[in-house]
Structure formats: C-alpha cells, structure tokens
C-alpha cells in the first residue's frame, strides 16, 4: 500500500496553500510575538523564567512529538510493520515519572524565589492608591495628597463607538490613551494599594510585570521599581462590565526632579479647581462643560443620545428623574444608586463638573427642562 493513499488528493495541497497564504500575510506585519522584557528587575526575571519554561516545553515537545512522528512514519501497517507484543515496562514508567518531577522541582525553585520578592511590599518610597471604577481608574498619592481620575481618552472613545466610521488606526494609541496619566518617579520603590468601588477590576502594566485584582471592600498590595523613563501602557484585566475593554492605564515614568515638579504643579491646579465654585456660571457655560463631562463619565452607560440600553442602563430622555424635582436628580448623581452600575459621582467630580453635567442632562436631547444648578450650590451640599 502507498503511504498517503487514504488522504484525499487535493486536500494537502489546498491546506498547505492556505497555510502559506496566512504566513505571507503575517510576515509583512510589524508585531509582537512574545512577552515584553519590561523595565523593572522583576519583569526581566519573569521574562527570563518565561523563556526558560518555554524552551523546556519545546525540548520535551521535540522528544515526544519526534517519537510519535517516528512511529507514524516507520511503524505503519502499509510498510508491513508487524505489531510488537510489549505493553508495559516498570522501568520506563519510573523514568517518565521521576524525570519530569525533577525538572518541575528545578523550575519551581527559581519561581518561588521570585514570587517571594514580588510579594514583599515593605520599604516603599511612594504609595499610590488605585481604585477601579466602572470604567475608569482613580489614583491617589497618599503622602502627597493628590487625587484624580483617569478616563479613556476622548479620541479613542469617539472612535470606539459602534459604527463610528472613524478608523482606529487614525487615533494615536487607540484604546491605550487616557485623559490624565499616572506619573511615577523612576528608581524608587513604588507601592500600589488596589481597591475598587463597584465590581472587581485588575490593574496591569505588562512592562512592570505587575497585575493584581482591585476588589471592592478589600485592599491588595503590590510594588514596582521602574528603571527607565518612558510611557508605559496597560489595561484592566478583569471583566468588569460593558466597558471593560475601555479603561486603559497609562504611566509616565519620569526622573525624580520632574516628579517633584509635577507634584507641585498638581497641588496648585487642585487649589484653582476648588475655587471654581465661587462664582456664578452662565447656562451656556454649564451646558458646554456638561457636554464634555457627560462624554467622559456618563456616555458609556447612558449612551450619546441619552437613551441608555433598554433593560440595562435607564434612559435619561424624559425619564422620571429628569421630569421630577432637580433635588432628586442631584441626589442620584452625587450618591449613586446601590446595587447598580450608577456610581456616587459626588466624590469623583468637582462641584463645577457636577453642576454642569446635571444641567446638561436636564436640557439636552430635547429634555429642555430649563432649570440648572450652580457649582456653588453643589459645593454646599458636598460639605
């Protein structure tokens, strides 16, 4: 009998052709195939271990698949090979129980050592509390007293809308850019405290080889020490609802002096923002700012047209909250609604942002309620 007699004629050719096409299609592209080495000592250790295990697997694979291939080629009936009668061997069984065990022990030792270092968060110089929200990150520098939110960049959000017609390639760092980046100094041990306000999220920067869940009601710890200045990007790594894919993380790693300068500037900006509640805002001003705030903080659930998603996220067009008293509207925006994705925005946004967005919601999409609220009034309520 011939070797490939039973394999249909054209089949092999067709499939090989297909494979070649895929390979040629892929060869032209510029892409990453492997884990990043990263920019921390830990990330390089992790990378080294990843490569070690990968090569161990490749070698074992070559041996096992090689033996299989040998039998497939040489021990076939069509070549007149008669079956041997053996069907057990204590020696062989012992060999392939003990050898893999030894290899595993050899792999486990360095892994355990690295893990012990990774879990040691003591003696940190900078501590950042990271809070996951649906769907944005909040950063709080505990010693410096800086606190801000980091949302998906407006360009990405616009392009990411269903049928937006904007090609993602035309947006810089599509889905991996934020409106305000986390700034960290290089060469210092930075400790992260992770928690969440609503559901579980996970904070991950591949270049630092750190990933940990942010869990509501609990605080997780991890640390990093960045070697190299630069911009590093990551994403939420735990399914957290509709916009799980749209809450990136961007870190600017800067020198110690740049970091100090950034801290000073942030503190000054925070003070200026606090004073914005002191004056009277015009309706036009509120509406203009409200539209922007809506686009970063509300649009993911309530949608661009305010209609929400039936059965999941309520509409804001002529809804009971909009038609009702403004006080109830302010209350739900400030304090959220328990058991739903509606968060307490009172501690996320400034008084000016809150006043603007509430005013906007009451007057956009043909709601035209005509009423508004001033930042000063919101500021009073938040005190």
Partner 1 sequence: MNAYATDAHHDADHHGPAPGLMRWVTTTNHKDIGTLYLWFSLIMFFIGGAMALVIRSELFQPGLQIVDPHFFNQMTTLHALVMIFGVVMPAFVGLANWMLPMMVGAPDMALPRMNNWSFWILPFGFAMMLSTLFMEGGGPAAGWTLYPPLSLQSGNALPFVIFSIHMLGVSSIMGAINIIATIMNLRAPGMTYMKMPLFVWTWFITAYLLIAVMPVLAGAVTMLLTDKFFDTSFFSAAGGGDPVMFQHIFWFFGHPEVYILILPAFGLVSEIIPTFSRKRLFGYSSMVYATASIAFLSFIVWAHHMFTVGMPLVGELFFMFTTMLIAVPTGVKVFNWVSTMWRGSLTFETPMLFALGFVVMFTVGGFSGLMLAMTPIDFQYHDTYFVVAHFHYVLVPGAIFGIIGGVYYWLPKWTGNMYDEKLGKWHFWTSTVFVNILFFPMHFVGLAGMPRRIPDYAVQFADFNQIATIGAFGFGFSQILLLIVVVKCIGGGKKATDRVWEGAEGLEWTVASPAPYHTFSPQPLVK
Which 175-194 residues touch partner 1, going by CB under 8 A?
175-176, 194
Return all residues near 65 (Cβ < 8 A) that are at least 6 apart.
Answer: none
The sheet that has 248-254: what strands, in order across it? 182-185, 248-254, 230-236, 201-205, 210-214
Contact 79, 130 (CB under 8 A): no
Pick from 299, 371, 274, 291: which is nearest to 329 by CA?
A: 371
- Would strands 210-214 and 146-150 be described as parallel, antiparallel, or unpaired? unpaired
User: Distance between CA atoms of 274 and 285, rounded to whole angstroms?
Assistant: 17
Bridging pattern class, strands 182-185 and 248-254:
parallel
Q: In this structure, are strands 136-141 and 146-150 parallel, antiparallel, or unpaired?
A: antiparallel
For partner 1 (CB under 8 A), the number of binding residues is: 114
Out of 144, 221, 229, 252, the residue judged to bind partner 1 by CB under 8 A:
221
The least distance separating partner 1 from the CB of residue 221, rounded to whole angstroms, comes to 7
Say how many Å lie between the first and final Cα of the chain, rounded.
90
Draw the binding track, 338-367, toward partner 1 (x: CB under 8 A; -: no contact): -xxx--------------------------
Selected binder of partner 1 within 129, 179, 180, 241 (CB under 8 A): 241
Q: Contact between 108 and partner 1 (CB under 8 A)?
A: yes
Nearer to partner 1, 41 or 258 (CB): 41
Q: For the stretch 209-218, what's the b/e string if a residue is b when 16 or more beta carbons lie within 10 angstroms of its beta carbon?
A: bbebbbbeee
**Helical (H) or strand (E) element with 182:** strand 182-185
State which of positions 128-167 bind partner 1 (CB under 8 A).
159-164, 166-167
Closest separation between CB of residue 87 and partner 1, Å?
Answer: 4
Does position 96 interact with partner 1 (CB under 8 A)? The reply is: yes
Closest distance to partner 1 from the beta carbon of 159 (Å): 6
> Which residue, 186 or 209, is less far from partner 1 as judged by CB?
209
Residues 249-308 within binding reach of partner 1 (CB under 8 A): none
Q: Which two tokens stand for residue 361?
A: 């919601």
CA distance 310 to 297: 19
Question: How many beta carbons lie within 10 A of that of residue 89, not counting itself?
Answer: 9
| Residue 236 in contact with partner 1, rule: CB under 8 A | yes
The H or E element containing residue 94 is: helix 90-118
Shortest approach of partner 1 to residue 335 CB, angstroms? 14
Q: Which is nearer to partner 1, 168 or 324 (CB)?
A: 168
Shortest distance (Å) from residue 145 CB to partner 1: 26
When binding is defined by CB under 8 A, the residue of 20, 55, 101, 325 that contacts partner 1 is 101
Q: Which pairs with CB-CB distance under 8 Å and at least 24 residues apart come from 78-86?
A: 78/1, 78/2, 78/3, 78/5, 79/3
String marking each residue 64-93 x if it binds partner 1 according to CB under 8 A:
xx-xx--xx--xxxx--xxxxxxxxx--xx
Residue with Cβ nearer partner 1 (206 or 306): 206
Segment interacting with partner 1 (CB under 8 A) among 206-214, 291-299, 364-372, 374-382: 206-214
**C-beta of 60: minimal distance to partner 1 in Å?**
8
Beta carbon of residue 150, minimum distance to partner 1 (angstroms, whole number): 17
Question: Is residue 13 within the footprint of partner 1 (CB under 8 A)?
Answer: no
């Amino acid at each position: 009998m011939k070797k490939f007699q039973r394999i249909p004629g054209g089949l092999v050719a067709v499939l090989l052709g297909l494979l070649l096409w895929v390979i040629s299609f892929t060869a032209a592209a510029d892409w990453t195939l492997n884990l990043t080495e990263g920019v921390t000592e830990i990330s390089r250790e992790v990378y080294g271990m990843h490569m070690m295990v990968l090569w161990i697997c490749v070698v074992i694979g070559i041996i096992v698949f090689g033996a299989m291939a040998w039998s497939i080629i040489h021990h076939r009936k069509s070549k007149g090979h008669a079956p041997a009668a053996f069907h057990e061997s204590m020696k062989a069984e012992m060999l392939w129980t003990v050898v893999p065990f030894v290899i595993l022990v050899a792999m486990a030792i360095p892994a355990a050592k690295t893990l012990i270092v990774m879990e040691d968060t003591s003696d940190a110089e900078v501590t950042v509390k990271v809070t996951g929200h649906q769907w944005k990150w909040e950063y709080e520098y505990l010693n410096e007293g800086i606190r801000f939110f980091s949302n998906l960049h407006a360009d990405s959000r616009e392009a990411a809308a269903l049928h937006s017609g904007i090609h993602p390639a035309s947006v810089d760092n599509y889905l991996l850019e934020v409106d305000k980046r986390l700034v960290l100094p290089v060469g210092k041990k930075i400790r992260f405290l992770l928690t969440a306000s609503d559901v579980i999220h996970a904070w991950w920067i591949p270049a630092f080889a750190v990933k940990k869940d942010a869990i509501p009601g609990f605080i997780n710890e991890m640390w990093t020490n960045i070697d190299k200045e630069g911009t590093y990007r990551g994403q939420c790594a735990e399914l957290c609802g509709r916009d799980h894919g749209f809450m990136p993380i961007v870190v600017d790693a800067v020198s110690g002096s740049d970091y100090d300068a950034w801290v000073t500037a942030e503190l000054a900006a925070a003070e200026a923002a606090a004073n914005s509640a002191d004056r009277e805002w015009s309706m036009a001003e509120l509406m203009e700012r409200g539209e922007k705030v809506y686009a970063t903080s509300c649009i993911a659930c309530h949608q661009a047209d305010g209609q929400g998603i039936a059965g999941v996220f309520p509409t804001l067009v002529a809804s009971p909250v909009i038609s009702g008293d403004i006080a109830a509207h302010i209350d739900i925006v400030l304090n959220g609604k328990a058991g739903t994705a509606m968060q307490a925005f009172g501690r996320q946004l400034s008084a000016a942002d809150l006043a603007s967005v509430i005013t906007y919601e009451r007057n956009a999409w043909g709601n035209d309620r005509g009423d508004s609220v001033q930042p000063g009034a919101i500021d009073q309520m938040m005190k």
